[in-house]
Amino acid sequence: MKKRVSVKFAVCAVYVLAMFMSALDSTIVNVALPAIGGTFHVPPEAMGTINIGYLISLAMFLPAAGWMGDRFGTKRVFLSAISIFTIASVLCGFAHNMFTLNVYRILQGIGAGFITPVGMAILFRTFTHEERPKLSRMLIIPIALAPALGPIIGGFLVDTISWRWIFFINIPIGLLALFIGKLYLQEHVEPTAGAFDYKGFILSLTGFSLSIYALTQGTVKGWTSPEIIVTGCLGLVLMVLLVRLELREDKPMIDVRLFKDPMFRSMSFIGLCSAAGLLGMLYVFPLMYQNALNVSAFHTGLTTFIEALGLMVASQLMPWTLKKMGLRRLLIFSLIGTIIVFMLISLFVASNPWLLRFLMFGIGFFLGQTVGAAQISAFKNIDSPSMGRATMLFNMQNRLGAVLGVAILSGVLGTSNTSAGEPVNLLTYQYALFGASIFLIVACLIAVRINKTTENDPTLHMNLVEKAE
């Protein structure tokens, strides 16, 4: 019994360490972008590639993670993912130009893409169904703290040592996770893993990569450039082929047939737009605050850190607000609130920093309820055999939404006259923040169109509240 308890504790420890490292990396880099750009002499509109490459590789390897864990063993794949992430972090810290840093960030994204789904599978196989609710409430705190602490830790390291230490900080965390995992994790191989959908994987990887490349480089190389036209058109063609292929597959890697369910479709696109708006804002704001207003990286981190606190408060209040307001009204209310806060930040960015921190808290508070309500309601009509593919597709869309937000707002920053060596001015950054709010407006329009009959279904309402609580 004692050994069993120690194994459960070890599984939790490894999972938290791996997720903490991955989640920390999602926010710690943003405050370091101006410093990295200064080191490699790269303009602000080109800095988005540091996040885009990471997010694309993370999203593209999510579908492959579940199959590889079942086929080759969850312990082997999980520890390999942590190793890849840790080694890539070391390489990022030693990168000598923008190209190598982007390559190493892509490698980091591959490791992160395997950590979450395989780690969750290990966790669910270790704990019973009855133990999981209590487990989730315990694990949410350290995992939620990582993105909250990222901007502060990153700002401190950038100001006092070097931006390279935002990557080196992953080394002790990764090594500790590997040590505990090697000793305590149990191997599990699924005999019915089936064949890997390699055609869908290749088409999705190349199609999305080429499309995002054209989107991010269009403002730099010109939208009429043959390179941009060819890569953009080829990417779109490959994505169309991907959809046609997956519709014919019995067990597709990306099950696009799930979008036939109106609730899953609506909540998925709301999640995508919300991720695009939030991650786009978190990309633009640190660049604007440091480059245009000359605020230090540490104080920029202190300001953006408050957004994560708002998210944590929203996660606790969302069951109550969902019960009181209902799904449709909660989504509309929280999205309109976020849109207003986005616009206020863009207008008053040069004002008192405490006002900005209050507005950042508002973003986390409002958008956190949007994301939480969308996530628990998306799977209302999804049956058990399709649940794994549905959760993967939902998470993948959120990651791609983040890529879309960063890519498009990078393009907005690229419209300024940086070709003559002039820095991006404050007004251009403000336009970019307004652009981030457009994603949320689209999400709000989708929420308005949610079928009122479905939303008022008492069975649905009761089930959603039970899931939220």
pLDDT digits (tens, 9 = 90+) for 136-147: 656 666 666 777
Q: Which residue has the higher pLDDT, 384 or 223?
A: 223
Q: Does pTM surpass 0.85?
A: no
Which range has the worst mean pLDDT, 106-110, 215-219, 454-458?
A: 454-458
Q: How far apart are CA 35 and CA 29, in angstroms?
A: 10
Q: How far apart are CA 216 and CA 385, in angstroms?
A: 37
Task: Give yes or no for a contact between 27 and 150, defined as CB atoms under 8 angstroms apart.
Answer: yes
Band of the pLDDT at 376, cuts 50, 70, 90?
A: confident
CA proximity to 270, closest of 343, 361, 378, 365: 378
Q: Which residue has the higher pLDDT, 374 or 128?
A: 374
Q: What is the mean pLDDT of residues 272-287?
A: 87
Q: Which residue has the higher pLDDT, 190 or 333?
A: 333
Q: Which residue has the higher pLDDT, 349 or 463?
A: 349
Q: Which residue has the higher pLDDT, 304 or 336?
A: 336
- In angstroms, what CA-CA distances link 371 with 212, 276, 434? 24, 12, 20
Task: Give yes or no for a contact between 370 and 338, defined as CB atoms under 8 angstroms apart.
Answer: yes
Band of the pLDDT at 420, cuts 50, 70, 90?
A: very low
Assigned CATH topology for domain 1-195: Growth Hormone; Chain: A; (1.20.1250)
Q: What is the mean pLDDT of residues 47-52?
A: 79
Write the pLDDT tens digit of every residue in 340-367: 999 998 888 877 888 888 999 999 899 8
Q: How far apart are CA 393 and CA 165, in angstroms?
A: 33
Which range has the worst mean pLDDT, 75-79, 195-199, 218-222?
A: 218-222
Among 146-155, 257-266, 334-343, the range with the most confident prediction by mean pLDDT is 334-343
What is the pLDDT at residue 335? 94
pLDDT score of 272 more than 60 = yes
Q: How far apart are CA 101 and CA 39, in angstroms?
A: 12
What is the pLDDT at residue 1? 40
Percent with pLDDT over 90 in the chain: 20
CATH number, span 255-469:
1.20.1250.20
The token pair that represents 31 in the structure block: 């405050």
Q: How far apart are CA 54 and CA 347, in angstroms?
A: 31
Q: What is the mean pLDDT of residues 193-203?
A: 78
List of residues 6+ apart from 164 with CB closer than 8 A: 92, 93, 94
Alpha helices in 378-455 (DSSP H): 387-413, 426-448, 452-455
What is the pLDDT at residue 132? 62
Residue type, 184: Y
Q: What is the mean pLDDT of residues 420-449?
A: 83
Tokens 């498009």 found at: 408
Find the angle CA(138)-CA(140)-CA(143) to the nearest 5 degrees: 120
Domain 1-195 and domain 255-469 have a common topology: yes
What is the pLDDT at residue 458? 44
- In angstroms, what CA-CA distances link 246 with 95, 257, 291? 38, 8, 45
pLDDT score of 455 more than 60 = no
Band of the pLDDT at 135, cuts 50, 70, 90?
A: low
Percent with pLDDT over 70 in the chain: 86
What is the pLDDT at residue 83? 95
What is the pLDDT at residue 171? 94
What is the pLDDT at residue 126? 79
pLDDT score of 459 more than 60 = no
Q: How far apart are CA 61 and CA 65, in angstroms?
A: 6
Q: Which residue has the higher pLDDT, 17 or 43?
A: 17
Q: What is the mean pLDDT of residues 317-337?
A: 88
Q: Cβ-count burial of 118 within 10 angstroms (0-12 exposed, 13-18 middle, 19+ buried)?
A: buried
Residue type, 343: M
The token pair that represents 435 in the structure block: 């652009």
Q: What is the mean pLDDT of residues 293-322?
A: 83
What is residue 283's three-state secondary structure? helix
Q: How far apart are CA 413 and CA 283, in angstroms?
A: 11
Domain ranges of the chain: 1-195, 197-252, 255-469
Tokens 């307001």 found at: 325
Query: Across all residues in the chain, what is the average pLDDT?
Result: 81
What is residue 20's three-state secondary structure? helix
Q: How far apart are CA 233 and CA 288, in angstroms?
A: 32
What is the pLDDT at residue 220? 66
The token pair that represents 384 in the structure block: 């058990």
